Amino acid sequence: MLTVNNLVKNFGDLRAVSAMSFQINDGEILGLVGPNGAGKTTTFRMLLGLMCPDEGEVLWNGAPLNDKVRDLIGYLPEERGLYPKETVEHQIVYFGSLRGKDPKELKPKVDEWLTKLKVKGKKSSKIKELSKGNQQKVQLITTLIHEPKLVILDEPFSGLDPINADIMKDAIIELRKQGACVIFSSHNMDNVEKICDRLLMIKNGQQIMTGSVDEIKESFGRTKVFLESNLTKSEIMAVPGVLDVKAQGKVFEVKLADPAVGKELFKLATKDGYIPTFSQQTLTLEEIFKLKVGELNG
């Protein structure tokens, strides 16, 4: 279990991270989200011991991090850190050995990992011969080959096509099943929504929202309706509490001022009986992200 208590980091007059506190239980995935410059990478560097906090503490199972605990950490940086002229196998075994693993123990696992992540390339291939997506997958293998208990992933989906992003998502979900603590950052709210148990949103180094995905979405209420009917856009706009309507033929996306407005809209839409679609939904994480960041920028 990872516990972070009131982390603070200053760079001169700039407070990059302010009173950051959270906990990740074994077998749990936490998504750390925020705009560029929010303090995500600085937070990761403090968790890794690469940067000392000015205040606060980072605990693993209730005790401060030490060199033994750091060998239990797997870290995937946003920037690729592979040696382009080295072979895939040598690269993976080398990084695993830095975490205290015997190369003889690691080598038999290389083929298994390459198959698992569907890497297009041989273990004898040089890194520079692989596509960017496959390089990213090899770097993930170097992160996980030593079977870490705490996994930190900084923008793991960056530059991946949808197919490779799904492979990456499956690998992260597998870590949860193995009981690892996982924290990752991403600008793709769809990925966050699909795989994380809880999320922490930060802006200018400050926590602005935390909780499970469902808790956060429900806290904003079901203020969006997808409607298919013979109503006109003007009829829908005339309902008190309707803020906006987007129309495509007979399909409408309606923005409400309050979830209770949905009842009045439903009555109007069904006044003549059956309609094909009426779905009242929460905002997506992406919509919530834009809303919260926009509020703070305003």
pLDDT per position as a tens digit, 276-286: 999 999 999 98
| Residue 298 placed within a domain | no
Does residue 201 sit in the same domain as residue 230? no
Query: Which amino acid appears at position 179 of this protein?
Result: G
pLDDT at 62 over 80: yes
| Residue 297 placed within a domain | no
List for the chain the helix, strand, coil content (%; round to 5).
35, 30, 35
Does residue 235 sit in the same domain as residue 202? no
This prediction's pTM: 0.85
pLDDT of the residue at 298: 42
Q: How confident is the model at residue 188 (pLDDT cuts 50, 70, 90)?
A: confident
* 167 in Cβ contact with 119 (< 8 Å): no
Q: Which two tokens stand for residue 171?
A: 């690998």
pLDDT at 186 over 70: yes
Does residue 56 sit in the same domain as residue 126? yes
27: domain CATH number?
A: 3.40.50.300
Which helix (H) or strand (E) segment holds residue 238: the answer is none
Q: Which two tokens stand for residue 269?
A: 């839409």
The residue count of the chain comes to 298
| Residue 277 placed within a domain | yes
User: Across residues 207-211, what is the average pLDDT?
Assistant: 92
Q: Which of 155, 189, 212 is the last residue of a domain?
A: 212
Domain residues for 179? 2-212
pLDDT of the residue at 295: 58
pLDDT at 183 over 80: yes
Which helix (H) or strand (E) segment holds residue 108: the answer is helix 103-116
The half-sphere exposure of 125 on its side-chain side, counting CA atoms within 13 A, is 16
Which helix (H) or strand (E) segment holds residue 209: the answer is strand 206-212
**Rounded CA gap, 118 and 164, in Å?**
9
